[in-house]
Structure 1
Amino acid sequence: MTTIGFIGLGVMGAPMAANLVGAGYDVIGYNRSRGRVDALVAKGGRAASSVAEAVRGAEVVITMLPDSPDVEQVVMGEDGVLHHAQAGTLLVDASTIRPDVSRAIAQACRARGVRALDAPVSGGEAGAIEGTLSIMVGGDPADFDAAHEVLRAVGSTIVHVGPAGAGQTVKAANQLIVAGTLELLAEALVFLSAHGVDLASAVEVLGGGLAGSAVLQRKAPAMLDRRFEPGFRVDLHHKDLGIVLDAARAAGVAIPLGAHVADLLASLRAQGGGQLDHSALLLQVEKLSGEDNELAPNRAASR
């Protein structure tokens, strides 16, 4: 039985770790808040009280953490993964971080005899629960082959996209597309509402045409019900678009629409919407259209 150390049992990490347990892996979970670890133990996993305890003896270590500094600290910091991992351990970072940081981590891993993959995921909390995530993987092809069976327990679309850092670059593009689609969906709903169209019927027919997308399918129902409990927080998408903008600037490419959506997300966050789901871009479009709303989840529809 493969032993997997799983570090970071948040909204995405917890169901991913649970699916690995369900697939028959020996999963040792670590999280800063103990309640998340206890929940994994209740599902058949094992508990670790530190990064060191999660890593020792693990053949695979998976990290799912909020941002680049978190991954750098957990992997390369004092008493981090590289301090305790045995030679040949496979490190799979499923976090969404800067591509240059992933490349630096891969280099540090090679120096310690540890194999590293950057394997960010897309599909949101629902995809994590269902085990249907899309996983874009950067790193050595042989290491990808070694990790593929493990990744199959958490994802349904698993693709090697290039060397170290390539997975994070593709994830940045993913976040660019999702943000742009969410913004246009929000604008469409406000537009349709202003013309008195039945929104549920409109969403149904739009979903069957070229405008249909996973974003529309997964996010439109909650937007219509004005439910903005976070599946993916505005704070995190704001961070991700910062990665996109930095990477685009470094490459010398223009992303004018992406930059505009990044500004809209930043404004939504500045108004107190950081903890809402990113579909709360709907509230931002309503404000820009002259509607008086509040950045609060579960507000009853005003029309």
Structure 2
Amino acid sequence: MDSALTSVALPAALAIIMFGLGLSLTVDDFARVARHPKAVAIALVCQLVLLPAIAFGLVTAFDLDPLLAVGMMLLAASPGGTTANLFSHLFRGDVALNVTLTAVNSVLAVVTLPVITNFALGYFDPADGGGSLGLQFTKVLQVFSVVLVPVALGIATRRRSPALADRADRPVRIGSAAVLALVIVGTVVSERENIADYAAAIGLIAVAFCVLSLTVGYVVPRRLGITDRQSVACSMEIGIHNSTLAITIAISLLDSVRLAVPAAVYGVVMFPVAAAFGWLITRTTRTDDAAVSRV
């Protein structure tokens, strides 16, 4: 992929997206963890432990190409994005919990993402042009700079001028969606000669991982006594990943377009799958509520 896109455009695009995330956050969103510790703890365990384990199981079971396997693990380690808040709202989830989980996950990802990615690189040992891959300390600092710094600036902007943050929120959200689309298209175009093979190799795994992520995010909290609205929020947060972050790290920091392919494919399939899943659980909940009311 073109060096200007790799070194400038992708990090800048991700910075805009993370700044937009920060515009929707306040310090109270982090403090809310103390008011809903059980829901947050369960969601974080699902996000940080179960999802990487599920991704590892899938890529191992399907004997996926090492680079694509690492790309799936990188995706699994990526936190939820602001789109999860929208889907949670559409399907009557606890959006405030989504905001809190996004805030906490974005901070934790600075540590967990390099750990999981480096584990995957060491285990699958992919070869990409003979170079060595890995998120060393300097690259971890770059992850920090493109994730937390823009978020902090967005939070500071909202704290200093809520009216300005409100006015900027919609344009930034629209711009973020456009950026995500362009990033995905750019990744696909760069690998157009191999895209059919990649789609065949990763498409089914991406769909399976999305379905399993959404299901785990909903079923586990419900089984552990979390309310339906909070379980919907957990499901969307866990199932809808920040694909742009995964793509940026793969291309800009690890210098491998192939590593970005799983995130690009997932960025396409997660929206219809999440919409179908949200419709299904909403319909099921309404049916259960109707049955209870008749009794």
Do they superpose with TM above 0.5? no
What is the TM-score normalised by the length of structure 2? Answer: 0.27
Structure with higher Rg: it is 1
Structure with the higher strand share, 1 or 2: 1
What is the TM-score normalised by the length of structure 1? Answer: 0.27
Greater relative contact order, per chain length (Cα 8 Å cut-off, separation 6+): 2
Structure with the higher helix share, 1 or 2: 2
